Chains A and B, each alone.
Chain A
């Protein structure tokens, strides 16, 4: 599984756009990039997943450059409730499941 590197923490004011970048230099051809969110004392929650270029859903956007050695999670206009730890994960098992290996994540603190 590809190792990922992301900032340990970030602060942002409410209403700002937040971009969290993750490095995954040894990503494999079959690997997908997945982001999870975890609130204190809760299980991680899937946010978004992509393979290349840009993916957008109702919660976030994921930007993946052509070389796929990094990815950026973009959260538009964050609110206090977006304060959480955000994990970038890379990997895929083609048998149908993804062994999810969490790193330390990025602790996002949204400030009023």
Chain B
């Protein structure tokens, strides 16, 4: 069964450093997403991406965050200058383009980001 993959599984970084989290969505999917989950809290939507541009973003997704699809397979989340409160599990997800019906999102296993 096709799956979303994410690398690395765990990233430790110092406050103020830039990090890039990588995702490989399912190959025929056209919508891509990033979510985060702070330990013990709920899953929070960050951003959705379609046709090489951001479709929607939450208030969490400020200027410190950016997303990119650098090639035909990868989808990345960059945090420009990490803060302690960015420590969380970051999930990538993807879904098909089915315009007349709702679609399920397929989530990756997550990248645990620890900012020290």
Residues of A within 8 A of B (CB): 32, 34, 38, 41-46, 49, 87, 92, 94-105
Q: Give the contacting residue for A41; candidates B4, B50, B89, B102; CB below 8 A.
A: B89
Q: Which residues from 27 to 59 on chain B have a C-beta closer than 8 Å to any C-beta of chain A?
A: 30-31, 33, 35, 42-45, 48, 50, 55-56
25 chain-A/chain-B pairs, Cβ below 8 angstroms:
A32-B102, A38-B43, A42-B110, A43-B91, A43-B109, A44-B43, A44-B105, A44-B107, A46-B105, A49-B102, A94-B100, A96-B30, A96-B50, A97-B31, A97-B33, A97-B48, A97-B50, A97-B55, A97-B103, A98-B95, A98-B103, A100-B33, A102-B35, A102-B45, A104-B42
Q: Give the contacting residue for B107; candidates A45, A94, A95; CB below 8 A.
A: A45
Q: A43-B91, A43-B107 are in contact. List 13 more A-B contacts (CB 8 A).
A: A43-B108, A43-B110, A44-B107, A95-B99, A96-B97, A96-B98, A97-B33, A97-B50, A97-B55, A98-B103, A98-B105, A100-B35, A101-B45
